[in-house]
Structure 1
Amino acid sequence: MPSLPEGKPEVLAKIDERVSFKKDEEKWIFEDGDEEFEYDDDLQRWVPEKRKIENDERELKEELKKEKKRKIEELKEQERNKPKSPPQTGVYITNLPSDTTLEEIEDAFGKLGTIGENLITGEKKIKLYRNEENQFKGDALVVYLKPESVDLAIEMLDGIQWRPLSKETIHVEKADFSHKESDSKAHNKDLTEEQKQVIKKRLQRLKSRSDDWKDDIQVEYERRQAEERFKHFVVLKNVFDLKTSEDDLFEIKQDIREGCEEIGSVTNVVLYDLEPEGIVSVRFSSKDDAARCAQEMNGRYFDGKKLEAFIYDGKSKYRRKEVSKEDQSDRFGTWLEG
């Protein structure tokens, strides 16, 4: 910082050419190279010119905006490169009675979906785990044809008494055997043409059976599951308008996610950019966090607009231009998928 002259600027201007009066802004200015100061009458001293401070703040905001865009691009790239995980179609059951039979398991779990088959032998994909003495350990694996049956089996059978007089309850959870996928692909290369034809016919038969399979239990389960799922969604109104650019929309999406993550764990944020009311949906891991978000966000101001926030009613349909891979599983209304 240069050495600032002392004294009244009216007097200094007569002896120091660096001091001048700006008529259009009605203020005294002291210029020394690239640095400018203005005289503050209240403080009776030279202070950095406000315009320079504003320029510095503007440059800082531009740098922050560029950095934010860079991070957004990194997030987009990470999302594009995220590996797709195979669908989980198996359930792992524990705490079964030691005398449980394969037929019992097939009867109970077969009511909740089509159980897969070994496409060569035709055997049901049910495995009872045994110890070294070939005694049943109380653990079993059931592999369904469709992943939807997994959630249904967990909902209906986890924590039940396996037999009416039994005090023990079984535990049902998703089975993770994705590590076997590469082995399966390698095995498929060794199949004969005859085996491939057998597999094709069995697949057609299983698909037909699965498409026909539907009962009151599944219908009721799906209804209850949908109602519970809706409680995890918060709808925000007045977040943007139809003139908002795509870049700004993506930035808004990130800002909404960051703000909501201060309340609870957010699993997805969707912008419905064809809605004039500026609709954004936020899905929380916990329905309690969703309820708290709706309460805290309702009436709050975002980018100069007053927000409306509420739990999704399960009926309203919101529109958007296109569906990204990140958002495919979060359709509202008739588009809603688990």
Structure 2
Amino acid sequence: MASTAEHDTLAANFASDPRIYFSTETGRWQFEDDDGKEMEYDTATGTWVPMIDDDLLKAQQAAYKMEGVDEDAVAAPVLKREAKKRKENPMDVDIAEGSAAKKSRSKKNDRFNGSTTGEAPAAPARRSKNTAVYVSRLPPDVSVDELRDAFSKFGLIEIDDRDEPKIKLYADAHGNFNGEALVVYFKEESVDLAIRMLDDAELRLGEPGSRMAVRKAEFGHKGKDGEEDAKAEYKPRTAHDKKKATRRIGKMQSKLNDWDDEDGFGPPSEAPETASSLALKARVVVLKHMFTLKDLEEDPTLILELKNDVREECETLGDVTNVVLYDLEAEGVMTVKFRDSVSAQACILVL
């Protein structure tokens, strides 16, 4: 506060301006202009400066506030200092710890736990891969090799630690094969393709009795004793088991990279592409003798009917993007364009 002599001098200087008054609360001379802006006289500099009130302070804080920054969080140096105090005086933790630090840690815990109750949120359910198909209605004399030859056309079959294909033939209570089997693929995508191509198909061409039922495995099928397979007791994997699994996966990946069978379902080879290899990549299938020009003349609505029938039939093999009917072709030509080449090859095999 200014001295009495200085106060009297300022009072005499400010007496001519009725807007200037002396505040007994702050002990300073204050001034309010016509716009309502309040100023106070700084005796050290001899100038009028804006008064800093709560509203002005909040406005300044809002102007410099950064999105994503917790303004209430205690600064790192403060937390570090309080942590040092706790180490030096472990008995006075509750007394030395400021309420702001407690609040900051509480907020961090709530954000970490995802709730205000301190309870950890439930972990999201992890979707396990299902790379197996369950096959039923198999002939009583079927063999693992026969199943491997049939199902390996639609994907790489996984191998076990003995380099044997993972194909299981189920038996009844007397130990006899009951016509059901499990085939495990290396890739999940092979399951849908195998179901699409082999369900209700003949394992042995020309033998109606060998029609199979193929569906996605549910891991609850019957075992040797006729009861559903129970979940095996969990056994922690040892380092040796992990090494064996790593070696087996490495072998499977190597086989997958080298896989290029004559049906064209594997990855393309590095050899120069021939006409036949390019055909395997094609997504368009050409169908002939689907109609005659006379049929179209007699029934103009046949064009739309044929296109719908062909699309409906081919969509059981894969996604169809376009169907074209060439109404001037004497050979009755239609084309079907699939979204991928695998579906196109499947269409060729079936039709």
TM range (shorter): 0.3 to 0.5
Instruction: Select the structure with the greater relative contact order (CA < 8 A; seq sep ≥ 6).
Output: 1
Structure 1 length as normaliser, TM-score? Answer: 0.37
The normalised TM-score by structure 2 is 0.36
More strand by share: 1
